[in-house]
Each structure stands twice: as structure tokens, then as C-alpha cells.
Amino acid sequence: MNTKTIKIDRNNFNIEDLKEAAMTLKNGGLVAFPTETVYGLGADGLNPQASEKIYAAKGRPSDNPLIIHIADINALDVLTKNPSKKGIQLAKKFWPGPLTLIFDKSEIVPYSTTGGLETIAIRMPNHPIAYELIKMSGVYVAAPSANTSGRPSPTKAEHVMDDLDGKIDYIIDGGKVDIGLESTIVDVTDDIPTILRPGYITRSMIEDVIGPVNVDQALLSKSYNPNIVAKAPGMKYKHYAPKGELIIFEGEMDRVIGKINEITKQKISEGLKVGIIATDETIGAYKEGDIKIIGTRKDEDTIARGLFEILRDFDNDGVDYIFTESFGDNKLGQAIMNRLLKAAGYRVVKVL
Ligand code: TXA
Ligand code: MG
């Protein structure tokens, strides 16, 4: 298949430029497009043949359900059954935005989109290209992240091309995304909602609106526990895995840097290639290896935005190991550490 790519300036475009992509979606094709979180791979969510193409292109397990992207909150009337009051409160507060809500599904939503579940994940993205594309296509757009299953989510169009060129119809290149981590997912089907995936919208932002919520147990443990299965089917898979072995070093910063320098030296002497994830604040302290800056500790947003890209860059460099500092786990840090721990397969070295 020949994948067509079109570049669109998110701040200055003519909606006619999106027409071909919108028609591709309407006619059952696959279109990758930017959102504020990561790039999505869209298809008509009510057309089982179309959503099955998503699973094929990504190599995604068929029990891993898709998020439906909407441009108008009234779509809830069509896609859900008795949506909970708390769910609607959250939608009104945070949409458009990086929040996905799980409701009971209506009859018209096919099981091929929900991975066989009676519930449906819905999000209204906050991105001008996504908004116009969804509106113009006239369909409810099922869209997982536009990466090959298991690889880091794409934060720019080049990442989508690397994974899916030749496998999908269309890519809209709208430049780099804003947030860089996937949306927060909240299951609002129970009286007390549960956070299934941490993201830019934090627990306290949610609790400010609807009161106490639970957090899926699987997110709380810092080590892998085979007895706790994540409630969001996609969270149980090995994820974001770079090709090199990623290891997180935790502890007092000077000691962490010392330890990373020591192990790097040793690995290089064995003829191995080592990548190091540094920050603006620590870059000067590393001595050898393929050293890259993820962002600044003064602004967690920059770390979130840089995480998936740096993992892909190290893949391209062909490193055998990636050593990284660890990050705080309050606010956005929780989402950052959730992704980093999964990418590292929970390999953490505590430096004493
Ligand atoms: O920010 C995002 O959410 C991006 C952009 C493109 O919108 N999308 C995204 O989709 O991250 P994906 O497919 O990579 O992740 C969807 C997650 C998976 O972990 C999936 O298991 C979970 O949502 N999910 C979907 N439907 C669900 C449901 N009915 N119940 C529980 N979890 C669900
Ligand atoms: Mg994904």
C-alpha cells in the first residue's frame, strides 16, 4: 500500500486540506493524525472492517480495545448507555482534552472496537487538526496510538512513518504534539470511578471535580506483580519497549550520576554501546556514552514531551543499554514514571 502524507500547519490551515483524509476515514480507510497527547491511528469506529484494519496495521492483540474520538459531546447520547453523572461532569470539565472516559456502551458500538467489552472508551481531543478531521469525516473515530504495538507512542509524524509506512492509507503531519504522553483514562461506570492510566489530567484535578476516586492497583506498585492484572487491557502488555535494555537509577542525584558513569565505563570497555538519558541540570556530569537531554527538571512538561522521542532516538542509534535518572512521582511525574517503568520492564537500580 502506498501511504500518502500531507503536512498541515496546525495554526494556519484551510479545512479543505483535510478533505481527502476525512473521506478516507468515511470510506473505511486508516488515517494517522496528531492530537495533543500523541499521534492516533484513526478508523471508523462503528465499521468493524475498518477497525479490524487498525489491529492488523499495528499488530495489536484483538482483546485490546480502542478509544473512540469525538468532536461533539452529544456523541455520548449515541455511543453510551446511561452515562454516569460523574462521567458527564468530568467530560464537561476536561473536554476537549487529554482525558479518556470509560462508559457502558450502547448497542450500536461493535465488539470489534471494544475488544469484546460492554464498555467503551471515549475522548474528545484538544487539537485543531483532530477536531476538524473528526467533524468533517462524520464518523466516530476509533484511534489507538499510531505506533506498532509495543513500541513507544509517536510524538511526531516521522515516528508514525517509521512504524506504519506502507501499512496505512494516510498520515497527517501536524508537527510535534504538545503533551507527549497518552491521555489519562478513568472508568466512570462505577459509583467511585477508577483511574486506569495516569496522564496529564492528575488524580487531584479529577477529585477536585467529582470527589474521591480509586487508582487501579496495577498502577500503584513500582515493581511488576503477576498477580495484579491491570484493568485497562492495554496496560497489561509489555509496552514502549526500546530495543536497548533500559535501566532506571534511583537515589540521591550525585550518587546516581556516579553509578551511571561507572557502569557506562564498564559496558563501553566490553565493547557495548550505551545511551544516557540526562536532563538540562545534569548533562555536564556525564563523561562518556551517547548522552541525550530529555528536558529540564524545572518543567516536568518538557520531560513528558521528550520521553518517547528519546527512546526512539536511542533505537535509531542502536545502543545496547539505556541508563536513565529517575523522576519524581507527584503530578505529571506519576505518568512519566509509569511509562518509564514499563519501558524499563521495571528494572530499577536503587543507588545507596
Ligand atoms: O492519548 C490517547 O489516549 C491516545 C490518542 C491517540 O488519543 N490514544 C491511545 O490509545 O493512547 P491506545 O489504544 O494506545 O490506548 C488505549 C488504552 C488501552 O490501554 C486500552 O486497553 C484502554 O485504553 N481501553 C480502551 N477501551 C477500554 C475499555 N472499554 N475498558 C478499559 N480500558 C480500555
Ligand atoms: Mg498505545
The whole-model pTM stands at 0.96
Residue 197 within a domain: yes
Which residues of the chain have a pLDDT value below 50? none
Tell me if 211 sits within 8 A of 191, measured CB to CB.
no
316-330 pLDDT, tens digit each:
999 999 999 999 877
Cα 145 to ligand 1 centroid, rounded to whole Å: 8
Same domain, 210 and 299: no
Residues whose CB falls within 8 Å of the CB of residue 159, separated by 6 or more in sequence, listed in order: 39, 146, 147, 152, 308, 309, 312
Whole-number Cα distances in Å, 231 to 15, 187, 234: 38, 9, 9
309: CATH = 3.40.50.11030
| Claim to verify: residue 166 and residue 97 sit in the same structural domain | yes
**CA atoms of 287 and 175, how far apart (whole Å):** 33
Q: Which of 234, 261, 277 is the last residue of a domain?
A: 234
Determine, yes or no, domain membership for 240: no
* pLDDT computed for residue 231 by the predictor: 83
Name the closest-CA residue to atom 6, ligand 1.
Answer: 40
CA distances, 172 to each of 175, 248, 279 (Å): 9, 34, 31
296 with 323, same domain: the answer is yes
Distance CA(14)–CA(12), nearest Å, equals 7
Of 20, 122, 9, 8, which Cα lies nearest the Cα of 71? 122
Residue 272 lies in a domain: yes
Q: Which domain holds residue 285?
A: 245-351
285 CA from centroid of ligand 1 (Å):
38
> Could you tell me if the CB of 38 is within 6 A of ligand 1?
yes
Determine whether the shortest distance from the Cβ of 119 to ligand 1 is under 6 A. yes
Cis peptide before 96 (omega within 30 of 0): yes
Tell me, yes or no, whether 321 and 230 share the same domain. no
Q: 198 and 336: one domain?
A: no
> Which residue's CA is the closest to the ligand 1 atom numbered 32?
232
The verdict on residue 33 lying in a domain is yes
Q: What is the C-alpha to C-alpha distance for residues 174 and 155, in angstroms, rounded to an integer?
A: 10
72 with 99, same domain: the answer is: yes
Task: Give me the amino acid identity at 87.
Answer: G
The number of distinct structural domains making up the chain is: 2
Instruction: Report which bound ligand comes closest to the CA of 234.
Output: 1
Instruction: Confirm or reject: Cβ of 182 under 6 Å from ligand 1.
Output: yes
Q: In what order do the strands lie in the sheet with 290-293?
A: 290-293, 274-278, 321-325, 245-251, 348-351
The whole-angstrom separation of Cα 304 and Cα 335 is 8
249 in the same domain as 195:
no
Q: Is residue 216 part of a domain?
A: yes
DSSP state of 145: B
DSSP secondary-structure letter at 289? Answer: S
Cα(263) to centroid(ligand 1), Å:
37
CATH number, domain with residue 71: 3.90.870.10
Judge if 102 and 228 occupy the same domain.
Answer: yes
- Residues 50, 182, single domain; the answer is yes
Residue 226: predicted pLDDT: 66
Binding site membership of 235 for ligand 1 (Cβ less than 6 Å): yes
Give residue 287's pLDDT.
93
Among the candidates 234, 262, 283, a domain finishes at: 234
Identify which of 185, 186, 229, 338 to mutate to test ligand 1's pocket (most ligand atoms within 8 A of the CB): 185
DSSP H helices, the chain, are: 19-26, 48-58, 75-79, 85-94, 111-114, 128-137, 157-164, 203-210, 217-220, 253-269, 300-317, 332-343
pLDDT at 297: 95
Residue 239 forms part of a structural domain: no
Give distance in angstroms: CA of 149 to centre of ligand 2: 7
At a CB cut-off of 8 Å and minimum separation 6, what does 17 contact?
Answer: 6, 8
Last residue of a domain, one of 234, 267, 283: 234
Neighbours of ion ligand 2 (CB under 5 A): 145
- Does 34 share its domain with 140? yes
Nearest CA residue ID for atom 20, ligand 1: 234
123 lines ligand 1 (CB under 6 A): yes
Strands 31-33, 40-44: pairing is: antiparallel
169 part of a folded domain: yes
Pick from 165, 324, 190: which is nearest to 244 by CA?
A: 324
Distance CA 1, CA 69 (A): 25
C-alpha to C-alpha distances, 329 to 31, 53, 127, nearest whole angstrom: 35, 37, 27
- Shared-domain flag, residues 49 and 153: yes
Asked whether 70 lines ligand 1 (CB < 6 A), one says no
What DSSP state is assigned to residue 186? E
110 located within any domain: yes
Q: What is the reported pLDDT for 224?
A: 66
Query: 144 and 269: one domain?
Result: no
Q: Is the CB of residue 26 less than 8 Å from the CB of residue 141?
A: no
